Structure 1
Amino acid sequence: MKKKILLWILGIVGVLVIGGGIYAYTLYSKVSNTLEAVQQPLNREKSEKREDNVDLKSQTPISILMLGADERADEVGRSDTLLVITLNPRTKSMKMVSIPRDTYTEIVGKGKSDKINHAYAFGGIDMSVNTVENFLNIPIDYYIEVNMAGFKDIVDAVGGVDVVNDLDFSLAGHHFAKGPIHLNGEEALVYSRMRKQDPRGDFGRQMRQRQIIKAVIQKGAKFDSLANFGDILGAIQRNVKTNLSQDDMFRIQQDYAAARNETEEIQIEGTGGIAADGIWYYHVSEETRQQLSQKLRQHLELK
């Protein structure tokens, strides 16, 4: 079950990318070492979905694929969490799209269609990025990949997170009352895991995952939230990979932070069922996919 709740750990990286930049500048040397260690470029110069290169100095609207991977020593693992974030600093807005991991689509570079999260197992981050680009018909400018190890320590290091729970439930020895609640690392794990008690099923779980991401980003925007900054950097260095350079991150902190002030969470509508091969897939209609693509392209100010 743990691999189902990777999404919210990605929010920690949001602290560095779109959260509070003050600490990053104050502790520049420590951050520099960490960011250099986690950088891993994609096997390309730029997305084929863009005519021009991204120019962060000109505040070009950008997209980030946040991917949670369940990697193990003896296997590549799968990306059981896929979240696309688009940032437009000109309109000061952000869109967050959760892609269901069982979404049936073309796996670019594999010559077949399958669950979208299998792209990572087949071809790592490069195939995942290409497949998501093809599914949404937008460029993926940057990615942030996070392994599940250490996520509880990260949440605890920022002092926990605050969310508004819309469903009273109990799970794994924890009770989550309806209304505003504060969660530590272990509680956030359980909160994000719950699916079976929610009449919305996986969509309810995705909503709670997005809640955690937003909460961590908001917490990171506060000057006093990173008392254990060294612990956070250590966890990030062990569990994060990204093609964002140090300069990219600081530029985004400086010029794109206001985009988080207006956030739209987008749920991809579709239908699920067991196919002839006996496997359960989530199908998104072409009309729905095109409507979503158009919305994101407009937010990215693409032609």
Structure 2
Amino acid sequence: MKKPNISVDGFIPAGRRPERVGNKPGADAPRRVGRPVAIDGMQPRRTPVAPQNFQQPQQLQRPFAEDNDIQASLREIDNQPQRPVRPEPDKKEQKRLKAEKKLEKINKKRQKKNKKPLSFEQFKKRRLIKRIILIILIPLLIFLGFQAWRLYNNLSRVVGGDILGLFTKTRLKQDDNGRTNVLIFGTSPDGWEGADLADSIMVLSYHQDNKDAYTVSLPRDLYVKHTCQSWLKTTAGKLNESYGCGKQDAKDSGKDQAASEQAGQAEIAKTAQEVLGMEIHYKVHANWRVLTEVVNALGGIDVKVEAYDGSSMVYDVATKIRYRNGETVHMNGEQALAFSRARGSAGGIGLSGGNFDRERNQQKIIKAIVEKAKTSNKADFNVMMGIIDALGNNINTNFETKEMQTIIEILKEFNAEKIVSIPLVDEKNKVQLLTTSNIAGASVVVPTAGTYNYTAIKNYVKKRISPTAEMNEEARLVILNGSGIAGVAAAEQTKLTKQELNVVQVGNYPGGVQAKHTIYDLSNGTKPKTIEKLKQTYGTNVVTTIPPTISKYNADIVIVLGTENQR
């Protein structure tokens, strides 16, 4: 087999020739001159071809020994053994080498700390444990991060303030009697018909130190004064319109959605404060979806159904509810909503109280929700997040993040069974502070004392929630006009009523005109706080010797007004 030509350092040897010079066969044959070869990039000069009869001079003839040496060198190169090529390490071996280097560094550090070096097996085991922890921890951190964002996103929609407020504990606002009053009202969701009309209105009053709680519901049809320039263009109307009036007026004045919402809340809070005489510190506006979602998140609530008029059942045509009187019903969100809205407006049984019955049932629902939330499984993360989602999507308040820690503490200690409801109409206890009426063709609710006259309501609520020492004595007062000036007794009645004193009668003094005021104590000293307050008010002493003209009055204290300080 013909051996291929081999290139050495850029030199390309010529092929084997059968001809040889000198004494070799074919010596007489003319030698063929090969093609010039470029060595190291240089172009050689072309060798001229000798004429056929040209005889090379003896001294210039080159022996073929040089060719033989070159051929021998090439054969030697070809016959040299190839150096073995070391194979590249596979991936597994590369990982092991890398791990060994890392272990070496770790053991150097351990030696500096006078710790025993790790074996390779120990190193692999520890590395495996770390990787398992990371595999578990990273998804967990992602999940917790998402839930934290979800929680903050919902809280930021419910309360005001920044996230740093969550790490601050601030006491809730309160009045002079230490009570925190929260207005809670509900509407339909945005986009629904009547979304700006309050369907239920309630005030929750809580004492942060005594831990007692009271609720007072206000009828949606209560006729009140309000400012409604843009929406209804009225100055008076039903209480359930007040929120929408404030909101729409703010919108029409160019305010954004958030500012308009706050304006609506402020308007209905102002009216509730005027009716009840309670300072409103916080407002909670919820649409009815929050009720269904919270109740469903809790897995339902248990409510005792009562027919307040003594009927054998409670049935409402509009909401289709039907329950036996006295039975405890497990309600889901939709059933709880229907029960809280039933008022017999389209007919029914056991709802003769109309709105007043509905207000009582709404308070039952709230109590049941609070109680179920407290007794539910605290470890059930889905329940907690379901409630948070429901609140974030459907509630708007003016609480701040810095008050959240206080709210959480209150909820932990809160006992729904101790919530005391204060009805403004209670036939059983002979309370009739409200009545129905018709104004401009509309069926409305007005105070029994007269339209816009909330004095008796304020005193009643004050007496139940934050009674003064005088209110607890429940002294019955009679005011007699002895000044000879018309209207003095009636004016004094208004003044004392605002001081939470119970004036049961006014009239003229039968003994004629008196120069000074006189206070007669007919209680035999059983009303000392009231007597002391009246002494300070009128700057006079108390008479315990009662003349016949005074003793005939059915009262604990009789006040006779004289001409002093009267003009």
Please tell me the TM-score bracket, short chain as reference: 0.7 to 0.9
Question: Which AA in structure 2 matches 1:135?
Answer: V
Residue 93 of structure 1: how far off its partner (Å): 0.8
Q: For residue 172 of structure 2, what is the aligned residue in structure 1?
A: 56
Match for 2:218 among 80, 86, 99?
99
The match for 1:157 is 297
2:154–2:393: 8 Å Cα contact kept in structure 1? no
**Structure 2 residue aligned with 1:85, among 197, 204, 224?**
204
Compared CA separation, residues 40 and 108, structure 1 to 2 (3 A) = farther
Question: What is the match of residue 212 of structure 1?
Answer: 365
Report the secondary structure of 2:436's partner residue: strand
Q: TM-score, normalised by structure 1?
A: 0.75
**Contact 1:274-1:281 within 8 A present in 2 as well:** yes
TM-score w.r.t. the length of structure 2 is 0.42
1:65 offset after TM fit, Å?
0.6
Residue type at the aligned position of 1:120: Y
Amino acid at match of 1:169: V
- Residue deviations 1:275-294 (CA, integer Å, cap 9, x gap): 2x111110013343222342
Q: 1:249 to 1:281 in 2, by over 3 A?
A: same
Stretches (4+) displaced over 4 A? 27-30, 57-60, 108-111, 170-174
**Separation in structure 1 between the aligned mates of residue 388 and residue 171 of structure 2, nearest angstrom:** 27
- Percentage of matched positions with identical amino acids: 23
SS at match of 1:195: coil
- Contact 2:223/2:445 (<8 A) preserved: yes
Shift of the 139–108 alpha-carbon distance from structure 1 to 2, 3 Å rule, reads farther
Residue 117 of structure 1 aligns to a residue in which SS? helix
* C-alpha distance after superposition, 1:173-227 (max 9, x if no partner): 6542332221111221222232222122222221111100000011111251654
Q: Give the one of 209, 222, 225 matched to 2:375.
A: 222
**Equivalence for 1:50:** none
Structure 1 position 150, deviation (Å):
5.1
Is 1:108–1:130's contact at 8 Å kept on the other side of the alignment?
no
Bigger Rg, structure 1 or 2: 2
How far has the Cα of 1:296 moved from its partner? 6.4
Q: Per-residue deviation at 1:126? A: 1.6
| CA distance in 1: counterparts of 2:184 and 2:241, whole angstroms | 16
Deviates more, 1:62-71 or 1:226-235: 226-235
Q: Are the aligned partners of 1:107 and 1:131 in contact in 2 as well (CA < 8 Å)?
A: yes
**Superposed displacement of residue 115, structure 1:** 1.3
1:298 maps to 2:466? yes
**Gap regions ≥5 residues in structure 1:** 1-26, 42-53
Matches within 5 A, 1:175-254: 175-177=322-324, 178-196=326-344, 197=349, 198-224=351-377, 227-254=382-409
> Residue 116 of structure 1 corresponds to which residue in structure 2?
239
Determine which of 273, 276, 286 is the counterpart of 2:437. 273
CA distance in 1, matches of 2:216, 2:335: 24
Distance in 1 (alpha carbons) for counterparts of 2:227 and 2:423: 23
Equivalent position SS for 2:445: strand
Contact 1:64/1:85 (CA < 8 Å) preserved in 2?
yes
* Deviation, structure 1 residue 248: 1.3
The CA distance in 2 between the partners of 1:231 and 1:252, in whole Å, is 19
Structure 2 equivalent of residue 36 of structure 1: 156
Match of 1:24 in 2: none
Amino acid at match of 1:238: N
What residue ranges of structure 2 are gaps of 5+ in the alignment? 1-146, 162-169, 247-263, 308-312, 426-433, 469-498, 500-567
Conserved 8 A contact 1:87-1:256: no
- Let me know the Cα RMSD of the aligned residues: 3.2
Cα distance, 1:291–1:81 mapped onto 2, change above 3 Å = same
Aligned length: 263
- Please say if residues 189 and 289 of structure 2, whose CA atoms lie closer than 8 Å, have aligned partners that are also in contact: no
Question: What amino acid is the match of 1:272?
Answer: T
2:269 equivalent in structure 1: 129
Q: After superposition, what is the alpha-carbon deviation per residue over 1:140-196, rounded to whole angstroms, capped at 9, x for unaligned?
A: 111111122353232111111111112323456654233222111122122223222
In the alignment, the residues of structure 2 paired with residue 99 and residue 192 of structure 1 have an alpha-carbon distance, to the nearest angstrom, of 14
Q: 1:162–1:183: 8 Å Cα contact kept in structure 2?
A: yes
Q: Which amino acid aligns with 1:237?
A: G
Using the TM superposition, give the Cα deviation of residue 58 of structure 1 relative to its aligned residue in structure 2, in angstroms.
Answer: 9.5
Aligned-partner Cα distance in 2 for 1:130–1:173: 35
SS at match of 2:224: strand
**CA deviation map 1:119-156 (0-9, x unaligned):** 11110112111221222222111111112235323211
Q: State the 1:240 CA deviation.
A: 0.7
Shift of 1:118: 1.1
Q: Secondary structure at the match of 1:250?
A: helix
SS across alignment from 1:192: helix
Q: Which has the higher contact order (CA 8 A, sep 6+)?
A: 1
Report the structure, 1 or 2, having the larger strand content. Answer: 1
Q: CA contact under 8 A between 1:155 and 1:185: conserved in structure 2? A: yes
> Could you tell me how far apart the structure 1 residues matched to 2:179 and 2:202 are?
17
Structure 1 residues 293 and 266: alpha-carbon distance in aligned structure 2, compared to 1, 3 A threshold: closer
The residue type paired with residue 158 of structure 2 is: V
Deviation at 1:57, TM superposition (A): 9.3
Measured after TM superposition, the shift of residue 32 of structure 1 is: 3.3
State yes or no: 1:289 paired with 2:445.
no
| Cα deviations by residue, 1:88-143 (Å, 9 ceiling, x for unpaired) | 13222100011001111222687833211111111011211122122222211111
Shift of 1:231: 2.6
1:7 maps to which residue?
none
Counterpart Cα distance in 1 of 2:173 and 2:240: 33
Superposed CA deviations along residues 10-64 of structure 1, whole A, max 9, x for unmatched, are xxxxxxxxxxxxxxxxx876543311122359xxxxxxxxxxxx94399942011
Distance 1:57 1:230, change over 3 A: same
8 Å Cα contact 2:306/2:314 also seen in 1: no
Q: In the alignment, residue 240 of structure 1 is paired with which amino acid?
A: I
Secondary structure of the corresponding residue to residue 63 of structure 1: strand
Q: Secondary structure at the match of 1:154?
A: helix
